[in-house]
């Protein structure tokens, strides 16, 4: 079984190597090759997941990677309920995205390169999820960071795309510093990075150290999972091709932080403070990002902010200690968010790259199928039963309340309302109302190679939540499954009537949709919209300008850094110190040459003189030694 | 004092004379001759030590040395001829083109 697992993880890497090295010769087959290797990975994942569902655990060290003193870092993989779930989600959703990309990227420059990167991305994510120690996880962690950089900057000739890639890389790197510190603390206290060594003896940690470790690890997660202080890279990441956005947002990369927190559950369970920080940041991010999504006109950016917001929900789930709810939302979110992005990509494909919703409208006649799947996905994310988002979101909010965080629960409910609103604002804006499509543009339905993955994901968005989230035989399947690895950390505080909670979250979702309908569908909608904007003008401006977070960061961090770099590091350190030093070294060599040149007279006698003098000295030296 | 030391002294003096000649004389021919003296002083050492140690190999070596010296002189003389053709002189101080 362990070799099957290795094969499953390595399969995308093989695809990457083939497309990366021989891309020049694979031509149009590149997409099929890339998808095939991911399909193999998915096919191999099925028996592994069944194996894990039966309760087995694989934990196998393939070889010893670093041995230094007592520290022994193996390259090993681990399959347990947590990673099995990730394995399924990542391979399946990525597989769908790969198939979709065959159609979407057809005819683009660098077709093979694109699939090589895509495969590498999935490989890194699999490594992250399946690693049995923190360093293997870290390699995958950095791998997805790197892949996001090259994929966001895929259109590298476009300056905005290249900048966005760099921003993503640098921002996540700031978080990675925290993550590294966390790992170093773990090595310091446990002398090992293997999960099986750390977690059974986690209780030896002093509470203070546990808090430091969990916060450091979570800081890494804020970078990778786009949480509050470090989320700024994610909206810019929309510069990449749409399948990449789908991959980053749904299956790989941003969910890494949630997975990592759930994986480190035994550590977080030791630190209520650390957990509370996770939950609070998650709640704040969920709310904050939702406000930013309210007013945007860019189709993909709305989805980007909604991702940040939804990851915030997951963080609430893992932060309050109910790890299974966070992971459950991760799974359902992977389906409907991939679906949203891919259908947004279909719209963009049809509109020849236009993403501004003000230039759309009435598209449901032109692309009915895309419209249908988009509505399904939006219903799912809005939390309307019986679609998948309802179950996971409801479980998160319910657990948050029951484990004693009523404020977080309230924030979550309000965010659910906003989520429903902005998603349906987007749907109504894009697909309903009058057509505002520019002259000469003829939107059309996407080709089948793109539609099939959309429908598969749509079916997933509908049923996944119900399959895993409904109570059966006295327990919820996903709760039971995930709790095998990461059990709920803290005791229940409140007993609440669950059906009341369900009604509240449904009302929030329906209300959001209703408000969106009222603001965009009726004849008098524009009037009351402008009245609203005028009345709440400051608030509207704040949301519309994204609370000026980018500007604040620019002033606080980028400018001072830039000034220090230019005024001090460049003008002083580089010019005066380094360059001058190099010049002086050169000058010394010149002077030395000048001094030695005196010896070169050109007269043979002089040379002979020096030769014989040298011979005498050598002979004299030996004579002295003998005597 | 070993009984063959005076003989070696002769060889040493010869060598010193040759070396000083090479260093101080300006005429290329004299320099060449001084070189010959130096080589032959070394040869002399071979012969002396061969004689007193009762083996023949040193003397055989001198034959080789003489042969090498002869060919070296031939090359040296050829150079001298060329030098004279170029500069119409055999004064070695005139030949400092390596400086430039």
The per-residue DSSP string of A164-228 comes to HHHHHHHHHHHHHHHHHHHHHHHHHHHS--BHHHHGGGGGGS-HHHHHHHHHHHHHHHHHHTT-G
B97 and A602 within 8 Å at the Cβ level: the answer is yes
Q: How far apart are CA A354 and CA A138, in angstroms?
A: 37
pLDDT beyond 80 at B96: no
Beta carbons of A283 and A411 less than 8 angstroms apart? yes
Contact A603 B22 (CB under 8 A): no
Stated as kind and residue range, the H or E segment containing A59 is strand A58-68
Alpha-carbon gap: B22 to the closest alpha carbon of chain A (Å): 7
Cβ–Cβ gap B92/A604 under 8 Å: yes
Confidence of residue A391 (pLDDT cuts 50, 70, 90): confident
Nearest to A608 among B22, B95, B99 (CB): B22
Beta bridge partners of A77: A60, A131
Instruction: Lowest mean pLDDT of A39-53, A115-129, A546-560, name the range.
Output: A546-560
Cβ-defined contact of B23 to A608 (cutoff 8 Å): yes
**Residue A280 to residue A411: CA distance in whole angstroms:** 10
**How many Cβ pairs within 8 Å bridge chains A and B?**
28
pLDDT at B62: 92
Q: Which residue of B has its CA nearest to A601?
A: B99
DSSP A267-317: HHHH-HHHHHHHHHHHHHHHHHHHHHHSS--BHHHHHHHHHHHHHHHHHHH
Tell me the C-alpha distance between A224 and A121, whole Å.
14
* A609 in contact with B, Cβ within 8 Å: yes
> Which tokens is A525 given?
């909608």
The 8-class DSSP code of residue A491 comes to -
- Identify the weakest region by mean pLDDT among A178-192, A545-559, B20-34: A545-559
Closest A-chain CA to B95: A603
pLDDT of residue A592: 92
What is the chain A residue with the closest CA to B25? A605
CATH code given to domain B5-99: 1.10.287.3510
3-state secondary structure of A542: helix
Distance in Å, alpha carbon of B53 to nearest chain A alpha carbon? 22
Q: What percent of chain A has pLDDT over 70?
A: 100
Helices in chain B by DSSP H: which ranges? 5-24, 28-53, 57-87
d(C-alpha A618, C-alpha A407), whole Å: 90
Q: Specify the long-range contacts of residues A70-74, CB closer than 8 Å, at least 24 apart.
A: A70/A191, A71/A187, A71/A191, A71/A192, A71/A193, A72/A192, A73/A133, A73/A135, A73/A193, A74/A132, A74/A133, A74/A194
pLDDT of amino acid B75: 93
What is the mean predicted confidence (pLDDT) over A384-397?
86
- Mean pLDDT confidence for A362-376: 86
Q: Which of B19, B24, B99 sits opposite A600 (nearest CB)?
A: B99
Q: Residue A283 — φ and ψ, nearest 5°?
A: -65, -45
For residues A238 and A498, give the distance between their C-alpha atoms in angstroms, rounded to a whole number: 38
A123 or A522: which leads in pLDDT: A123
- Give per-residue pLDDT as tens, A120-177: 999 999 999 998 889 999 999 999 889 888 888 888 888 888 888 888 888 888 889 9
Give the range among A100-104, A318-322, A554-558 with minimum mean pLDDT.
Answer: A554-558
Q: How many Cα atoms sit within 13 Å of A106 on the Cβ side?
A: 13
Instruction: With CA atoms as reference, report the closest residue to A213 among A189, A185, A172, A175.
Output: A185
> With an 8 Å Cβ cutoff, are B93 and A603 in contact?
yes
Could you tell me where the DSSP H helices lie in A27-158? 29-53, 81-104, 111-130, 134-152
Interface residue of B27, B45, B93, B97 to substitute, partner A, most A CBs within 10 Å? B93
Q: Reduce the DSSP state of residue A607 to 3 states and report it.
A: helix
8 Å CB contact of B98 and A600: yes
Give the closest of B24, B26, B99 to A602, CB-based: B99
For residue A604, give how far its alpha carbon lies from the nearest alpha carbon of chain B (Å). 7
The pLDDT of residue A43 is 92
Q: Check CB contact under 8 Å for A608 and B100.
A: no
Please give the structure tokens belonging to residue B5. Answer: 């030391």
- Rg of chain B over Cα atoms, rounded to whole angstroms, equals 17
pLDDT at B98: 63
Candidates B76, B95, B96: best to mutate against A (most CBs of A within 10 A) is B96
Interchain pair A608, B98: CB under 8 A:
no
CB neighbour burial string for A402-427, b if at least 16 within 10 angstroms, e if fewer: bbebeebbebbbebbbbbbbbbbbbb
Residue B12 forms contact with A (CB below 8 Å): no
Q: Choose, out of A596, A597, A607, A608, the residue to mutate when testing the contact with B (most B CBs < 10 Å).
A: A608
Q: State the DSSP H helix or E strand holding residue A58, giving kind and residue range, or none if neither.
A: strand A58-68
**Residue A267 structure tokens:** 């550590």
Q: Choose among B22, B31, B98: nearest Cβ to A602.
A: B98
Q: Which residues contact B85 (CB under 8 A, 6 or more apart)?
A: none
Joined together, the tokens standing for residue A188 give: 């310091």
Residue of B nearest to A604 (CA): B92
pLDDT band at A216 (very low <50, low <70, confident <90, very high): very high
Neighbours of A396 (CB within 10 A): 31
Q: In angstroms, rounded to a whole number, what is the distance separating the alpha carbons of residues A82 and A327?
A: 8
CA distances from A254 to A259, A260, A352, A384 (A): 9, 11, 28, 24
B100 has pLDDT over 60: no
Closest CA to A519 of A340, A295, A287, A338: A295
* pLDDT computed for residue B99 by the predictor: 64
- Is the CB of residue A611 less than 8 Å away from at least one CB of chain B? no
Farthest CA pair distance, chain A: 117
**Contact status, residue A84 vs residue A48, Cβ threshold 8 Å:** yes
Express each pLDDT in A257-298 by its tens digit: 899 999 998 888 888 888 999 999 999 999 988 888 888 888
For residue B43, give the nearest of B19, B60, B22, B20 by alpha carbon: B60
Rounded Cα gap, residues A93 and A255, in angstroms? 13
Chain B contact for A600 (CB, 8 A cutoff): yes
Number of H helices, E strands in chain A: 27, 2
As a whole number, the mean pLDDT across chain B is 88
How far apart (Å, rounded) are the C-alpha atoms in residues A573 and A4? 54
| Contacts with B24 from chain A: Cβ below 8 Å | 605
Reported as a pLDDT band with limits 50, 70 and 90, residue A591 is very high
Chain A interface includes B1 (CB < 8 A): no
All residues of chain B having their beta carbon less than 8 Å from the beta carbon of residue A604 are: 31, 92, 95
Percentage of residues in chain B with pLDDT exceeding 70? 95
Chain A partners of B26 at a C-beta cutoff of 8 Å? 605
The answer on pLDDT for A42 being more than 80 is yes
Name the pTM for this structure. Answer: 0.78
Q: In chain B, whose CA is at the least distance from the CA of A612?
A: B19
Q: How far apart are CA A389 and CA A55, in angstroms?
A: 27
For residue B93, the chain A residues in CB contact (below 8 A) are 603, 605
User: Dihedral through CA A222, CA A228, CA A233, CA A239, nearest 10?
Assistant: 120
Residues 31-90 of B with CB under 8 A from A: 31
Peptide bond into A336 cis (omega under 30): no
Domain regions of chain B by residue span: 5-99
Distance from the A606 Cα atom to the nearest Cα atom in chain B, whole angstroms: 7
CB contact under 8 Å between B96 and A600, yes or no, is no
Would the CB atoms of B19 and A605 count as touching at under 8 Å?
A: no
d(CA A201, CA A20) in angstroms, rounded, equals 43
- In terms of CA atoms, which chain A residue is nearest residue B23? A605
Per-residue model confidence (pLDDT) at position B1:
59
Cα-flanking dihedrals φ and ψ of residue A84, to 5°? Answer: -65, -40
Angle at which helices A525-535 and A498-520 pack, to 10 degrees? 110
Closest CA to A430 of A389, A509, A377: A377
């Amino acid at each position: 079984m362990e070799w099957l697992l290795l094969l499953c993880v390595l399969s995308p890497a093989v695809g990457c190597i083939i497309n990366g090295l021989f891309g020049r010769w694979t031509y149009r087959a590149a997409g099929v090759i890339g998808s095939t290797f991911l399909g193999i990975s998915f096919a191999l994942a099925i028996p592994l997941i069944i194996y894990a569902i039966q309760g087995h655990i694989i934990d196998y060290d393939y070889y010893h990677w670093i041995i230094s003193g007592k520290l022994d870092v193996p390259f090993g993989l681990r399959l347990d309920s947590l990673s099995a779930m990730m394995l399924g989600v990542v391979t399946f959703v990525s597989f769908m995205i790969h198939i979709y990309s065959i159609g979407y990227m057809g005819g683009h420059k660098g077709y093979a390169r694109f699939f090589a990167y895509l495969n590498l991305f999935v490989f890194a994510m699999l490594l992250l999820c399946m690693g049995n120690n923190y360093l293997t996880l870290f390699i995958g962690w950095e791998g997805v960071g790197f892949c996001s950089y090259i994929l966001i900057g895929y259109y590298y000739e476009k300056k905005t795309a290249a900048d966005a890639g760099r921003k993503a890389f640098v921002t996540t790197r700031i978080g990675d510093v925290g993550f590294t510190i966390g790992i170093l603390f773990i090595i310091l206290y446990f002398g090992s990075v293997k999960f099986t060594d750390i977690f059974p003896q986690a209780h030896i940690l002093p509470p203070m150290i546990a808090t430091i470790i969990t916060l450091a690890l979570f800081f890494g997660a804020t970078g990778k999972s786009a949480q509050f202080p470090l989320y700024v890279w994610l909206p810019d990441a929309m510069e990449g091709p749409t399948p990449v956005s789908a991959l980053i947002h749904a299956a790989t990369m941003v969910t890494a932080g949630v997975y990592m927190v759930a994986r480190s559950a035994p550590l977080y369970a030791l630190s209520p403070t650390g957990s509370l920080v996770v939950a609070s940041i998650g709640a704040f991010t969920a709310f904050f990002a939702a406000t930013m999504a309210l007013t945007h006109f860019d189709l993909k950016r709305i989805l980007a902010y909604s991702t940040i917001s939804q990851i915030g929900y997951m963080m609430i789930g893992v932060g309050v200690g109910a790890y299974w709810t966070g992971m459950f939302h991760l799974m359902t979110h992977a389906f409907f968010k991939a679906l949203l992005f891919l259908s947004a990509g279909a719209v963009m494909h049809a509109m020849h790259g236009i993403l501004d919703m003000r230039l759309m409208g009435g598209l449901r006649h032109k692309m009915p199928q895309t419209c249908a799947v988009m509505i399904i996905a939006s219903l799912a994310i809005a939390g309307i039963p019986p679609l998948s988002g309802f179950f996971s979101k409801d479980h998160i909010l319910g657990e948050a309340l029951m484990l004693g965080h009523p404020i977080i629960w309230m924030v979550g409910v309000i965010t659910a309302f906003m989520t429903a609103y902005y998603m349906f604002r987007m749907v109504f804006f894009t697909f309903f109302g009058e057509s505002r499509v520019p002259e000469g543009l003829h939107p059309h339905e996407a080709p089948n190679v793109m539609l099939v993955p959309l429908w598969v994901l749509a079916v997933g968005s509908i049923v996944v939540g119900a399959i895993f989230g409904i109570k059966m035989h006295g327990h919820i399947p996903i709760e039971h499954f995930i709790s095998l690895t990461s059990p709920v950390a803290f005791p229940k505080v409140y007993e609440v009537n669950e059906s009341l909670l369900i009604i509240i979250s449904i009302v929030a979702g329906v209300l959001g949709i209703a408000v969106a309908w009222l603001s965009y569908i009726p004849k008098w909608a524009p009037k009351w919209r402008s009245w609203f904007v005028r009345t709440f003008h400051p608030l509207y401006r704040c949301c519309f300008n994204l609370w000026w977070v980018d500007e604040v960061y620019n002033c606080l961090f980028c400018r001072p850094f830039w000034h220090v770099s230019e005024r001090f590091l460049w003008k002083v350190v580089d010019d005066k110190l380094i360059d001058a030093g190099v010049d002086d070294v050169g000058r010394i060599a010149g002077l030395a040459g000048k001094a030695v040149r005196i010896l070169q007279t050109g007269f043979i006698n002089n040379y002979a003189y020096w030769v014989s003098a040298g011979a005498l000295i050598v002979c004299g030296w030996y004579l002295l030694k003998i005597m | 004092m070993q009984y063959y030391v005076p003989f070696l002294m002769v060889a040493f003096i010869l060598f010193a004379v040759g070396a000083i000649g090479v260093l101080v004389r300006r005429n290329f021919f004299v320099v060449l001759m001084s070189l010959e003296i130096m080589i032959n002083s070394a040869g002399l050492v071979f012969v002396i030590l061969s004689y007193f140690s009762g083996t023949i190999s040193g003397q055989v070596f001198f034959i080789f040395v003489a042969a090498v010296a002869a060919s070296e002189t031939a090359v040296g003389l050829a150079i001298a001829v060329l030098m004279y053709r170029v500069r119409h002189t055999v004064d070695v101080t005139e030949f400092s083109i390596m400086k430039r």
